[in-house]
A and B are shown apart, each in its own frame.
Chain A
């Protein structure tokens, strides 16, 4: 009897396991969007074009993966976008006006970012206020700080001149440089993005911490009852999004050698959208880091594909929104189909 049962489990198990994976919907969306643009624009599918749309996918993807982890853990971070600006501003300001080396300035930026992540986490876990509200507050404060401090120190709304700072060459090569593949330049950020996604996936699926993340997102009380350190897990997740924001902020600052005080504002919802496309539930407890990475690719493809197709710039935002809705619907569709099969 046991043998027969095992065989039965093996069959259904594999098929079912493949279909109920949260990423599957995102993969379908990815294929649809790619075929859509690639079939109409030869540049889009050329190596050059791929390098073009993988670039925004990478910087968006690093954030989307971190935000996805946090969403699986049941919380939101609306301050992640503006934190990329804060990190970049700290880096460029210290390195150009206070004589810090690029590496030292980056370190200070990291410490500040992690401190903000820690603060977010502590406030959310101690006060039990919704993280949406708490991080909205952080978002607004950082927005004001970014602008106010920049104006106070430089008199303008941006800081620039990073090229002259010591240590720039090395830091630029490692975080903002390019690598040549098949005669085309690909941004190094893509490698960082792949690394972040791989680590996040491993943590989610193959570590204790990952189990705890799913648990506190699915049912925090139940998790606490079996001894999961819920508060510590959430705080760690907020610090993860902060770390990702520092990484992306530094990459962008090094690449463009200047930072405008208002960068990152408005991006926070895009990270969440990418995570949702990737299968994350808004209520937490379910999702995938790879899915969020794929969501970021879909976004990058749509963003750049619209330009490649030469669509009228005035209609840009409309088409982008429609494309995203379709991708998310496709995601939903596939999940529902998968769940039907199960029963």
Chain B
């Protein structure tokens, strides 16, 4: 008596799963008329495997870019992400088992992924790395790396800040030990021509960020520029500048809706945009070209997607694009 509902539930789960699988699945169960090995709808299949889990607003833009490219070229693009390098490595193994036509991977922890990527390369599956791990990309056998060089971006930011008249810059590092963030500050230092001081904060406690920056601005009146490396930190820094009444100029890395509004209102000078949409779109393009035409892009060097600068001039348009999920 009690068994029946459970059995029904199990059968129901089976049925539902059949419905919710992606389009490729149902194409395979089509009548024997389309007996070709792969359905015409998807001529190739690419796997994007990043180190961010679902629901991250930055990476959602990357995902949108990849999926848009997939639609454009008529290829199948799957997107998976996991912050645990062990799990990410296993996802790569799975993609290799599925014999995909190309793998896009972001390497926050290159060491942990070395073996899995090696297997993919050995299985003649082309790999493009994105976003992080640029230094190991070539060594691991990837075709190219698509991302923003933190050094180059930092320099670009430094130049812009110098042009705005900043002589002493506060560089706010929100995650201890993150090598990429440090590289941004170093890059800015190279081109600013003035002094750069680093301030450690914790991105998980934004109120604390505001008070720390306020304290710094009040105690050192010589600081006339603040560089944030994260959109949330940028907003916190803006509040700090307001609170302390300091005339310091503010710039940031990476975009968010609030940051774009602040740029429009003149509270933030510019945002360095690594244009992560391209980190999803371009790799699919490159892999598709490789599959159809054996093209390799980059000549062994990385392809830079940034820095792009969002200023008062283009903020309005960028805001609209951000709403669409492409910036």
Contacts and interface: CB of A to CB of B under 8 A. Distances in A.
A and B touch in the complex (CB under 8 A): yes
Interface of A: 32, 36, 40, 43, 46, 48-49, 51-52, 55-56, 151, 154-158, 160-161, 163, 252, 255-258, 260, 263, 304, 307-314, 316-317, 322, 326, 329-330, 333, 336-337
The interface size bin for chain B is 35 or more
A308 B17 contact: no
Given A40-B17, A260-B85, A49 B97 contact: yes
24 contacts: A32-B10, A40-B18, A40-B21, A52-B97, A56-B90, A151-B177, A154-B177, A155-B176, A156-B177, A156-B179, A160-B109, A160-B112, A256-B89, A257-B114, A258-B109, A260-B85, A263-B84, A263-B86, A304-B90, A313-B54, A313-B79, A313-B80, A314-B54, A326-B13
Contacts of A155: 176-177
Contacts of B85: 256, 258, 260
Contacts of A307: 80, 91, 94
Interface string B277-308: 00000000000000000000000000000000
Given A36-B14, A330-B10, A48 B177 contact: no
B81 interface: yes
B135 interface: no
B247 interface: no
A160 B10 CA distance: 45
B298 to A, nearest CB: 26
B273 interface: no
A46 B97 CA distance: 9
B52 to A, nearest CB: 11
Interface string B56-93: 00000000000000000000001111001111011101
A158 B13 contact: no
B84 A326 contact: no
Contacts of B177: 151, 154-157
Contacts of B78: 310, 313
Contacts of B87: 56
Contact of A52 (B10, B55, B93): B93
Interface of B: 2-3, 6, 9-10, 13-14, 17-18, 20-22, 24-25, 54-55, 78-81, 84-87, 89-91, 93-94, 97-98, 109, 111-112, 114-115, 176-179
Contacts of A330: 6, 10
Given A40-B18, A256-B86, A333-B6, A308 B111 contact: no
Given A151-B177, A257-B112, A330-B10, 11 more contacts: A49-B94, A51-B97, A52-B93, A154-B177, A160-B112, A255-B115, A258-B112, A260-B85, A309-B17, A309-B25, A314-B55
B226 to A, nearest CB: 24
A310 B79 CA distance: 9
A326 B10 contact: yes
A310 B24 contact: yes
